[in-house]
Amino acid sequence: MKNQKNKNKLIFLGDLESINIELVIKSFDYLKYKVRYILICNKYDFLKTTHYKKSNLLINEILDPINFYNYKINQINIFNIENISRKKYVNLLNQIKISNSLANITKFDLITMPINKSIFKKEIKFIGMTEYLGKLNKKDTFMLMHGDQFSIIPMTTHINLKNISRYINTKIIDSFLKKVFLNIDKTIYKLNFRNIKFICYNPHCSEEGTMGNEDIKIGNVIKKYNKIKGPYPGDSIFKKIKKNTLFISTYHDQALIPFKILNKKSVNITLGLNYRRLSPAHGTARDIKNKLLADNSSYLKCLLF
């Protein structure tokens, strides 16, 4: 393979009560000559799963995940992380921390597979993987959902809707945009958006301030940025979409709903880290676990991005 180091990937396997292993096994033959990757998980938990037991694939335990020395192209390569607790969330946190350390050392892409956030939230303050990796690395991180039709960045992500208006503040918006542009211009992401549009907070962009002054504040800030247009009403902005457009929304579902409906292939990218972190644009899908119904298109896009 040419530029072999750039084709090395690390995969935090995530929650095994999910479609994650099905995606790995279903995609194995297609990927094995295209990219080299190591699964980071507990090997013994992996061996017990239904999908692995039904497959004919062999496991190769990687001893050096930095240099890939004993990598075997026809086997599933696993870097085994011993469980340190009876509590699932503790073991997964440990795997995330080790995955993050390896990605920082190697600068290999880290693909994080879906987790059930509720098992973390019941024990610790945990908003989501984007935010947790930011905290772990002491960095400001941003969620970029990259699709085949268009991409989106929500200014606020996993917070209660009633708290969003607190973030519609000129200093916060300006700081957010500066940091976003610092990251999307970095060469490691290979992003080149031709159009960037900001979505209003209120219906009809507040109807000239009669519904509130939030969209006036947004408009005043984005005037400083030549690359951004808007703000535009959220109920019509997705009618006509030019390819390679980035939409910046004020809150999560404002842009995530049309994004997931209109994009066939998509991937979740975390901006702000020293390496590329990608994740499939779906959850654990426990309801279809072991039913052979999982769509692996987002997983494949992560590995081949």
What residue segments make up the domains of the chain, in order of their start?
1-142+266-305, 149-263
pLDDT along the chain (305 residues), means of 10: 65 96 96 96 95 92 95 97 96 97 97 94 89 95 93 91 89 93 80 91 89 91 92 92 92 93 93 95 89 92 94
DSSP string over 76-132: EEEEE-----SSHHHHHHHHHHHHHHHHHHH--EEEE----HHHHHTTS----HHHH
Instruction: Look up residue 271 and give its DSSP letter.
Output: E
Could you check whether 1-142+266-305 and 149-263 share the same CATH topology?
yes
- Which whole-number Å values give the CA distances from 245 to 5, 28, 215, 249, 299, in the listed order? 30, 32, 21, 13, 22
* pLDDT recorded at residue 1: 39
How many Å apart are CA 267 and CA 282, to the nearest integer? 9
Count of Cβ atoms closer than 10 Å to residue 191 Cβ: 17
For residue 49, the model assigns a pLDDT of: 92
Using CB atoms within 10 Å of the CB of residue 189, give its burial: 0 to 12 exposed, 13 to 18 middle, 19+ buried. Answer: middle
- CATH domain 1-142+266-305 topology: Isopropylmalate Dehydrogenase (3.40.718)
Instruction: Give the per-residue pLDDT at 187.
Output: 65
Model's pTM, two decimal places? 0.90
Residue-level pLDDT at 70: 95
Q: Regarding the domain delimited by 149-263, which CATH topology (the fold level of the hierarchy) does it fall under? A: Isopropylmalate Dehydrogenase (3.40.718)
